[in-house]
């Protein structure tokens, strides 16, 4: 009996291992490590437009003249070139393949390509096309990318990503431009910008689409970073530099980004929504995984508790589809630091303001500075133009301030004069004059029932007079 059960299990095993990927449940149904739209083989988005057999040789880098043995072997990929003197890289599991490359690869193969983008040094990949891209015709190039902060020579390890999104740029040349004879910006040696797209580097594969209409016939393509690199990108002398992987190229005739997506609200104000026109077969995705049940025109991002990432809406109809991606950046919150003056508090962070005293908003206190009139815990709420708010730590004016009449001792100061009198002291005493930051401005001794001193050398503002067992506040 046990033998029959085991035989039945092994007979069913091929069927179990071939489970079909459900592209709208947020799960890895077929066990290949790729979920939903990230599984580009099982969950393709074939547009209403014609999928053109890629006019480039070897769109997944699987064909090579030899297995790469180290970095800088891009020219081993059939139909591809390192494009400039800067040596981009072919990675293939038959040979050199860094351990940090995320698997599985988008096309399910064994190879991908990559190159650095930094200030002062950029690597590109290039290909000679089999078919000419005609002037005036709209095309869409689709592919997958993954961004890292890789060590700047051997590509052995990666570090935390601390640079901005990449404006990945597609360049084209009007003839079979000979590549690999230049450094720097491709615009300086016969190439033109065909189109750009935004890529958010997070160490994971994500789809990229660039839609373009060439002004003249194009026979050569080059892909990489922009000619002017974002200033947050390090220089080529850094020990780690931004590094980007490429794989799974496809080409469509026409514009596949035909589903307009609009955004209202933002993450900071907890009211972000993405809106697309109502279409049949809608499904929203976040970072390639389906947002389960999100099949309506409005995706209530904040209400669903979703955050930053790459959002995509896919519209199915008659065995074809359109998709549009929208990157939502993580919110940037302002700083909220308080600088203390003689009697004022000032916030130097840009934005709008609301000052608080003891946790309660002060009516009308909406400027960057506030003049204090009483003791307590002060704080300020700063809101930047994106709607993100930060409440400062409270600044405690914690000196034991008393009213002018305190235990039979009177502090007399008439508005508009510089003379301050302490009346009612019955023994020799010491006093100190402080500003609201606690800085000592004056120190002295008194011996009589009536003692006075002059404030003439101090600016207008609030001050604290400290005696041994009591304190007074006064406004000059």
Assigned token pair, 423: 């009346």
**In this structure, how many other beta carbons lie within 10 angstroms of the beta carbon of residue 255?**
16
- Determine the Cα–Cα distance for residues 68 and 193; give it in Å rounded to an integer: 30
Cα–Cα dist 427/419, whole Å: 21
The pair of three-digit structure tokens given for residue 382, joined into one six-digit string: 């700063």
SS3 state of residue 2: helix
CATH 2.60.120.260 correct for 49-253: yes
Strands (E), 270-362: 273-275, 282-286, 289-290, 298-299, 309-317, 320-328, 338-340, 344-347, 352-357, 360-361
Q: How many other C-beta atoms can be found within 10 angstroms of the C-beta atom of residue 148?
A: 25
β-strand partners of 389 = 383
Q: Domain ranges in the chain?
A: 49-253, 262-328, 338-397, 405-475
| Contacting residues for 178 by C-beta, under 8 A, at least 6 apart | none
> Which two three-digit tokens encode residue 200?
């958010």
Taking only the tens of pLDDT, the chain with its 476 residues reads 433 333 333 333 444 445 678 888 888 888 888 888 877 777 776 554 444 555 778 999 999 999 999 999 999 999 999 888 899 999 999 999 999 999 999 888 899 999 999 999 999 999 988 888 989 888 888 899 999 999 988 899 999 998 999 999 999 987 655 565 677 888 888 899 999 999 999 999 988 889 899 999 998 999 999 999 999 899 988 999 999 999 989 887 765 555 778 888 888 888 999 988 777 778 898 888 899 999 999 999 999 999 888 888 888 754 456 677 777 888 888 989 888 765 678 898 889 999 999 999 999 999 999 987 777 888 999 998 888 999 998 887 644 333 444 555 666 665 556 777 776 666 777 888 887 777 888 887 776 666 777 777 788 777 788 877 667 666 66
Backbone φ and ψ of 8, nearest 5°: -60, -40
Q: Which CATH architecture has domain 405-475?
A: Sandwich (2.60)
**Separation CA 100–CA 203 (nearest Å):** 9
Report the CATH fold assignment for 338-397: Immunoglobulin-like (2.60.40)
Give the CATH number of domain 262-328; options: 2.60.40, 1.10.10, 3.40.50, 2.30.30.
Answer: 2.60.40
In angstroms, rounded to a whole number, what is the distance separating the alpha carbons of residues 211 and 200?
A: 18
For every residue of 372-410, DSSP letters joined together read --S-EEEEEEEE-TTS-EEEPPPEEE-S--B-SEETTEE
Helix (H) or strand (E) holding 125: strand 125-133
Q: Which helix (H) or strand (E) holds 11?
A: helix 2-17
DSSP state, residue 134: P
Got the DSSP string for 256-284? S--S--EEES-TTTT--EEE----TTEEE
The strand pairing partners of 143, in sequence order, are: 208
Fold matches, 49-253 and 405-475: no
Q: Cα angle vertex 140, ends 139, 142, to 5°?
A: 150
Distance CA 114, CA 90 (A): 7
């Amino acid at each position: 009996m046990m033998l029959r059960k085991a035989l039945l299990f092994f007979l069913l095993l091929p069927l179990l291992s071939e489970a079909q990927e459900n592209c709208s449940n947020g799960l890895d149904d077929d066990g290949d490590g790729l979920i939903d739209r990230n599984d580009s083989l099982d969950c393709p988005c074939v547009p209403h437009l014609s999928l053109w057999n890629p006019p480039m040789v070897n769109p997944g880098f699987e064909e090579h003249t030899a297995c790469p043995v180290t970095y800088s072997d891009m020219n081993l990929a059939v139909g591809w070139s390192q494009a400039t003197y800067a040596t981009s890289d072919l990675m293939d599991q038959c040979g050199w393949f860094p351990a940090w490359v995320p698997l599985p690869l988008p096309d399910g193969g064994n190879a991908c390509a990559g190159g650095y983008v930094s200030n002062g040094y950029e690597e590109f990949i290039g290909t000679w096309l089999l078919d000419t891209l005609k002037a005036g015709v709209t095309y869409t190039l689709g592919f997958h990318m993954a961004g890292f902060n890789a060590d700047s020579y051997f590509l052995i390890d990666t570090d935390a990503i601390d640079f901005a999104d990449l404006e990945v740029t597609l360049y084209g040349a009007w003839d079979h431009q000979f590549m690999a004879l230049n450094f720097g910006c491709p615009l300086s040696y016969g190439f033109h910008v065909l189109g750009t797209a935004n890529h958010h580097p997070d160490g994971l594969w994500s789809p990229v689409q660039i839609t373009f209409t060439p002004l003249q016939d194009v026979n050569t393509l080059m892909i990489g970073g922009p000619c002017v690199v974002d200033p947050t990108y390090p220089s080529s002398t850094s020990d780690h530099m931004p590094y980007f992987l490429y794989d799974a190229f496809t080409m469509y005739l026409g514009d596949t980004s035909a589903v307009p997506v609009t955004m209202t609200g933002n993450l900071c104000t907890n009211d972000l929504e993405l809106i697309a026109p109502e279409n049949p077969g809608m499904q929203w995705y976040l970072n390639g995984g389906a947002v389960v049940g999100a099949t309506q025109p409005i995706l209530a991002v904040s209400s669903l508790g979703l955050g930053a990432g790459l959002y995509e809406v896919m519209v199915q109809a008659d065995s074809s589809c359109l998709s549009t991606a929208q990157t939502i950046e993580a919110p940037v919150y302002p700083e909220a630091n308080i600088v203390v003056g003689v009697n004022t508090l000032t916030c130097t962070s840009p934005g709008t303001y609301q000052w608080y005293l003891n946790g309660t908003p002060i009516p009308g206190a909406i400027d960057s500075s506030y003049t204090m009139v009483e003791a307590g815990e002060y704080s300020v709420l700063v809101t930047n133009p994106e709607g993100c708010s930060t409440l400062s730590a409270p600044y405690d004016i914690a000196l034991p301030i008393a009213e002018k009449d305190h235990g039979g001792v009177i502090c007399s100061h008439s508005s508009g004069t510089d003379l301050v009198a302490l009346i009612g002291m019955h023994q020799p005493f010491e006093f100190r004059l402080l500003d609201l930051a606690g800085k000592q401005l004056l120190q002295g001794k008194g011996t009589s029932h009536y003692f006075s001193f002059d404030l003439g050398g101090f600016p207008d503002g609030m001050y604290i007079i400290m005696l041994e067992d009591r304190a007074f506040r006064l406004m000059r």
